[in-house]
Every structure is written in structure tokens, then in C-alpha cells.
């Protein structure tokens, strides 16, 4: 069987507001990656590639979404409400200086209780703080109290401040919050070995084609095998990830049908279903 035919839940997708998509189309043309981030465009792709559900995640980036995280969360919540069988979504927060510690827990609570979002996305680089920065403690405590998972962007791909999303920093927060469900995005990026030894759940968004480019298919297969099918989550980082590329790579790996079901659907479903996490 091909990955195209399996039941799939893309657990890392960016769908942007219409005005943002229009800006990308105007600046980069209709074929540019981020020009394809509109809702209807992505729904068509879901049907084309057999993506049954998708997790919409923000980026803590006011330039991709909105300056006001309440507005971003209302937008994402609106998509979930309009397409409950296709979408679920994580909440946004943005860098608001000295107000971050005080405001973000209540932004998250509002997003969960009023807008129907089911988790939190933390992008340390866009927040201008390390993944283990103590300013994150109140909002992570709120996530744990609400029983919702947290996804950390983890792609320390360059020198300098990009290292603030390194998996070893996420590992420290996992130790501080043992009652918090954490997803490490992008398999930890170039520091995937740190994610392997410490982090819990890990998605393969963005990073899978890079692993093949850097190490070849066999070694990429070994890296995913080291994490194991009980920890891996299928995701693409759409619109940056191409489904054809992902399916071509995954079809040449040695996962069994049962393992594929876990990676493609069951693991993320378990994370997003509180009664199944206990």
C-alpha cells in the first residue's frame, strides 16, 4: 500500500487569513509556496492527497497572522467551527514584552474555552526567547491545567539566536512539567539526537526531506526508526512541505502497516483526545 491510501492526519499545517494569502500571491506569484496557504486551496489538497484531518498551527508571528493573538485565535477557531470534521487548531501567542507573563495564560484559556482550540504552539525564535525561558512558565502551567498539549517549534538550523529552539531546552521544560503533553516539531531539526534522547512526541514536518538530502534515504530511515512509531507524528509543515515528496520518501521506508497507522493517525489522535492520554 502507498501512503497516499492510508488514513492520514497532517499534524503540522499553516493556513493563513485570506488577506495574508493575497499578499503572498501579489509578491511571489500563485506558484510560490506561501501563496497556497488559503483555506479553500488547502481543503482541495486534503481531498487530493487523502488527508482526512489537519492540525492548524500558528507561528507566534504577527506578520503571517495578526498582531493581536486574540484575532489569530478567533480566525483559527472559526476554521475549526466551520470544518469540525477536517480541522482542529492550536492557539497563538505573540511577544508582548513585559505583558507576556501576565497575559498569555488567559489568551490560551480564552482560545480553548471560547474558540474551541485544543492546544498551544510555542515558536521560541519568533517569541525572541529560549524554549526554557522562565517567562513561559505561566502559560505552560495553564496548558497543563487545561489538559491541552503544547507544540514547540524546534529547528535550530542556524547559528546564534536560532539555537533558542534547540531540543535540549525543550527537554528542560518537559522535566519541569511532567504533567504536560509536549510535541517537538521538526524532529528537533539539526539537533535531532537531542530530541531522540529527551523529548517525547516528535513530528516529522519540514525535516524529513532534509534528512534524506543530508544523509540519504537509508540513514533517514534509521533516524526515524530510532525514534520509533510510538513517538513519531506525521506532519508536513504545509505549505512548505510537499505531499508528493513526503509520500515518495515514506513509501520507500520499512514501516509496517500497523506502524504507519500509528504515525499517520493514531498518535496525534491520542494526543488530542484527553481521555486516551490518561
Using a 10 angstrom Cβ sphere, with 0-12 exposed, 13-18 middle and 19 or more buried, the burial of residue 52 is middle
- The Cα-based distances of 141 to 127, 213, 269, 275 in angstroms read 18, 38, 22, 19
d(CA 190, CA 264): 23
User: What pLDDT score was predicted for residue 27?
Assistant: 86
Strand order of the β-sheet with 232-233 is 120-122, 150-152, 182-184, 201-203, 232-233
pLDDT 10s digit of each residue in the chain, 278 long? 799 999 999 999 999 998 888 888 888 888 877 878 889 999 999 999 999 999 999 999 988 899 999 999 999 999 999 999 999 999 999 988 889 999 999 999 999 999 999 999 999 999 999 999 999 999 999 999 999 999 999 987 665 556 889 999 999 999 999 999 999 999 999 999 999 988 889 999 999 999 999 999 999 999 999 999 999 999 999 999 999 999 999 999 999 999 999 999 999 999 998 655 44
- Please state the φ and ψ torsions of residue 123, each to the nearest 5 degrees: -115, 90
H or E element: which one contains 96? none
Q: Are β-strands 51-56 and 8-13 bridged in parallel, bridged antiparallel, or unpaired? A: parallel
Kindly state the DSSP code that residue 259 receives in the 8-state scheme.
H
- Which of 200, 113, 104, 210 is CA-nearest to residue 155? 210
User: What pLDDT score was predicted for residue 188?
Assistant: 94
User: What pLDDT score was predicted for residue 242?
Assistant: 94
Residue 223: partners with Cβ closer than 8 Å, 6 or more residues away:
187, 192, 196, 211, 215
d(CA 107, CA 113): 10
* Ramachandran region, residue 128 (left: φ > 0; alpha: ψ -120 to 50; beta: rest): left
- Which of 161, 156, 259, 242 is CA-nearest to residue 205? 242
User: What pLDDT score was predicted for residue 116?
Assistant: 98
User: What pLDDT score was predicted for residue 22?
Assistant: 83
- For cell 490518561, the residue is 278
d(CA 207, CA 235): 10
DSSP symbols for 182-218: EEEGGGGGGGHHHHHHH-SEEE-TTHHHHHHHHH-HH
Task: Identify any residues that bridge with 150 across adjacent strands, giving them in sequence order.
Answer: 120, 182
User: What pLDDT score was predicted for residue 276?
Assistant: 52
Task: Identify any residues that bridge with 55 across adjacent strands, giving them in sequence order.
Answer: 88
Amino acid at each position: 500500500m502507498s501512503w497516499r491510501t492510508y488514513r492520514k492526519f497532517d499534524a503540522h499545517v499553516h493556513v493563513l487569513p485570506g488577506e495574508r494569502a493575497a499578499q503572498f500571491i501579489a509578491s511571489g506569484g500563485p506558484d510560490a509556496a506561501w501563496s497556497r496557504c488559503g483555506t479553500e486551496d488547502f481543503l482541495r489538497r486534503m481531498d487530493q492527497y487523502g488527508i482526512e484531518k489537519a492540525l492548524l498551527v500558528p507561528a507566534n508571528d504577527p506578520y503571517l497572522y495578526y498582531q493581536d493573538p486574540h484575532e489569530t485565535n478567533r480566525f483559527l477557531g472559526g476554521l475549526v467551527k466551520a470544518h469540525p470534521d477536517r480541522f482542529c487548531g492550536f492557539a497563538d501567542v505573540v511577544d508582548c514584552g513585559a505583558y507576556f507573563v501576565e497575559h498569555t495564560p488567559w489568551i490560551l484559556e480564552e482560545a480553548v474555552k471560547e474558540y474551541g482550540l485544543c492546544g498551544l504552539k510555542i515558536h521560541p525564535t519568533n517569541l525572541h526567547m529560549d524554549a526554557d525561558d522562565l517567562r513561559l512558565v505561566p502559560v505552560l502551567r495553564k496548558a497543563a491545567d487545561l489538559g491541552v498539549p503544547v507544540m514547540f517549534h524546534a529547528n535550530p538550523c542556524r547559528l546564534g539566536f536560532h539555537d533558542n529552539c534547540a531540543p535540549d531546552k525543550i527537554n528542560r521544560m518537559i522535566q519541569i512539567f511532567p504533567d504536560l503533553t509536549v510535541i517537538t516539531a521538526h524532529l528537533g531539526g539539526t539537533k535531532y539526537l537531542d530530541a531522540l534522547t529527551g523529548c517525547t512526541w516528535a513530528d516529522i514536518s519540514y525535516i524529513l526531506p532534509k534528512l534524506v538530502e543530508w544523509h540519504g534515504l537509508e540513514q533517514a530511515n534509521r533516524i526515524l526508526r530510532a525514534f520509533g512509531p510510538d513517538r513519531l507524528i506525521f506532519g508536513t509543515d504545509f505549505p512548505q512541505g510537499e505531499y508528493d515528496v513526503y509520500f515518495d520518501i515514506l513509501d520507500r521506508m520499512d514501516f509496517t502497516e500497523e506502524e504507519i497507522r500509528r504515525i499517520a493517525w493514531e498518535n496525534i489522535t491520542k494526543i488530542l483526545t484527553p481521555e486516551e492520554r490518561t
